[in-house]
Copies of this chain bind each other. A is one copy, B any other.
Amino acid sequence: MKKIIEYIALIEEELAKISPTQEPKELYQPISYMLALGGKRIRPALLLLSNNLFGGKDENAIHAALAVEIFHNFTLLHDDIMDDAPLRRGQKTVYKKWGGNIAILAGDVMFVNSLQLLTKTPTNQLSNVLTLFNATAVQVCEGQQYDMNFEQQSDVSIDDYLNMIELKTAVLLAASLKMGALIGGTSEDDANHLYEFGKNLGISFQLMDDILDLYGDPEKFGKQVGGDILANKKTYLLLKAQELATGSLKKELEFCLGSTALKNEAKVEKVKAIFDQLNIKKLATDEMNLFYNSALSHLDSIDIDLEKKKPFEDFAKSIMHREQ
């Protein structure tokens, strides 16, 4: 059985073959640039691993794997326009480097490219895989829309938030795993367990991200501590605090969010103190663990040797930075 790291190398190799010299180069250079920016290539690697888990050959699933990675990069490319983002993986975004028009069109072509690759899936699974892929693509767009809505919306509930991160982040991981399973020829039941494994893992990963933004080791995490608080970002932490805070604590929290006079450090410190009073870190960690454990229990339910499932368990542990 191949290791995930070997699959990542395979994906990098295949992506590198996508040439920037195609015409019109104004369109294909940005695509090649975007794909060369890197990324963890987790989704395609898991798709191949999942196909392999059920005895599928790599060559049957490689196109779907590349499709998922290129689709993911297409969504990032269009998101960068919507977010007016200057940087992506430390480099200029396509949007900032070539402008909005090229970024829109290059994204559109990447999306078609992903479908062209997907259409090379063996005929007996083509319809199933396409249906799942397209449904997932719609969900990812809906998730992005909810995320944009939330910026303007004052009454975002925890359920709204969990739904949003499920759509925007988790379903593509889930679908990658399920597509691999389908191409590998397993039962609908096992494929669905892998889907739920990916979905729950994706949600717990996003919750961990929210927690680490404030409570993580800044050196390890590589971001400014409390960046989400400074941006008034509606994370699980903030939404939970807004749900629980009453009386003067509630007023204080809203004051911090609304104040322009508060200096950055003071704002993070004050909001963190409110979170601590409300036990937010523990509540968020509990929620994260719920999803994480649900992911592992779906992995347990797959009717296959424990030993073969180990790479998935190891992967889950590794991305959650867990030691055991």
A residues contacting B by CB (< 8 A) are 23-24, 26-27, 78, 81-82, 100-102, 104-105, 107-109, 111-113, 115-116, 119, 123, 126-127, 130-131, 134-135, 137-138, 141-142, 144-146, 148-149
Contacts and interface: CB of A to CB of B under 8 A. Distances in A.
A130 to B, nearest CB: 5
A16 to B, nearest CB: 20
A113 B100 contact: no
Contacts of A109: 138, 141-142
B145 A108 contact: no
A146 B24 contact: yes
A141 B22 CA distance: 13
B82 A101 contact: yes
Contacts of A148: 26, 101, 105
A102 B137 CA distance: 16
Contact of A78 (B27, B104, B127): B104
Given A105-B82, A108-B78, A138 B123 contact: no
A138 B111 contact: no
A27 B141 contact: yes
A115 B100 contact: no
A103 to B, nearest CB: 9
A145 B78 contact: no
A24 B139 CA distance: 11
A266 to B, nearest CB: 32
Given A108-B141, A126-B127, 14 more contacts: A24-B145, A26-B145, A27-B141, A27-B142, A81-B101, A82-B100, A82-B101, A102-B145, A115-B134, A115-B137, A116-B131, A116-B138, A123-B127, A126-B126
A233 B115 CA distance: 34
B111 A108 contact: yes
B104 A81 contact: yes
B24 A149 contact: yes
Contacts of A135: 116
